[in-house]
Structures are given as C-alpha cells and as structure tokens.
Amino acid sequence: RQARYIEAAVDGVVIACLYAPNGNPRPGPKFDYKLAWHQRFAAHATELLDTGLPVALAGDFNIVPEPRDIYETRSYDDNALVQPESRAAFAALIDQGWTDALRKVFPREERLYTFWDYRRNRWPRDAGLRLDHILLSKKLARKLKAAGIDREVRGGENPSDHAPVWV
C-alpha cells in the first residue's frame, strides 16, 4: 500500500491532497496501477461531489491534461504522463463537474507549467509540464478569485522540480 492521499474538512471545506502514481514504464504493471488508482480516485471524487460541500482536490496528478500543457518535444511521447488513457482519466474528473482552477483563470495560456525536470537544463529553457492541479467543486469554483503557480520557488536554491500551485 502506498500513501498517496490525505483529506481534511476545515470549517466546512474539504481539502484533499494527492500524489498520484507516475505510471512509468509503460506498458506494464506500473501503468496499469496508475489507471486503476485514478479509477478508484474518480469514484471517491464523485462521492465528495455528492456531499454538496465545497471541495478542493489538489496535488500532483501525474497527468499532462492537454498537449499545450507540455513544452514542444517528442521525448515524452511514450511517457505515462501524456498517454490517451491518462488524459482520459483527468477528463473524466472534469466531466464529473470539477473545475480546473488554473485553466479557469488562464484559459488560453500556453506555457502554464508546474514541473521542470532537473535534467537537460529544462528549468532555464522553460521546458516544463503541467502535472500539478487544483480541481474545485462547483460550490468552491464560484468563489474562485485567483489562481497561480509560484515559479519563483522553483528557481530558488535546492528547489523541488515542482512549483506550488495556489488558489
């Protein structure tokens, strides 16, 4: 068992944080596990929506939802992060009624990245991917005023390869 999800209710708002499986290499058991994990997560997400409470699902989904959410490259073509099955898992959450906070605030932004691999000088070249997301229930999405990515944190000393996403 892997610790990948934590949830708390604070003042009537449910905050869920997740670190979804990467799924590489693909094909194989790790990719199968990723898809099964997302299927179980989607079922739980439906239950959360059904409560009627304001809910935020936040974290590293390990999915690049759309081609514009990754820099122009062919090096990720076989990667689990960009596969049609992975993208379908993310789209299924949106279809449930969740709002992608970053895309709500920046609907046309092309370089909306949250992750830059340490290898191949990707941070200075802004060769990133959008893996980290905050999905909001309708009740919470109505209150959305702003969202963003703290890129400065990624550029600091000894940073994570991910930058924080906020609402």
pLDDT for the residue numbered 149: 98
Q: Domains along the chain?
A: 5-166 (3.60.10.10)
* Gap between the Cα atoms of 124 and 64, Å rounded: 20
**Structural element, H or E, at residue 94:** helix 84-96
Alpha-carbon separation of residue 114 from 1, 60, 66, 160 (angstroms) = 27, 9, 14, 11
> How far is C-alpha 140 from the chain's CA centre?
17
User: Along the 167 residues of the chain, how does pLDDT read in single tens digits?
Assistant: 678 999 999 999 999 999 999 999 999 999 999 999 999 999 999 999 999 999 999 999 999 999 999 999 999 999 999 999 999 999 999 999 999 999 999 999 999 999 999 999 999 999 999 999 999 999 999 999 999 999 999 999 999 999 999 99
pLDDT for the residue numbered 159: 95
**Structural element, H or E, at residue 41:** helix 29-50
With left for phi above 0 and alpha for psi between -120 and 50, is residue 99 left, alpha or beta? beta
Instruction: Give the pTM.
Output: 0.96
pLDDT for the residue numbered 27: 94
pLDDT for the residue numbered 2: 78
pLDDT for the residue numbered 3: 80
Alpha-carbon separation of residue 145 from 91, 115, 140, 142, 164 (angstroms) = 23, 24, 10, 9, 17
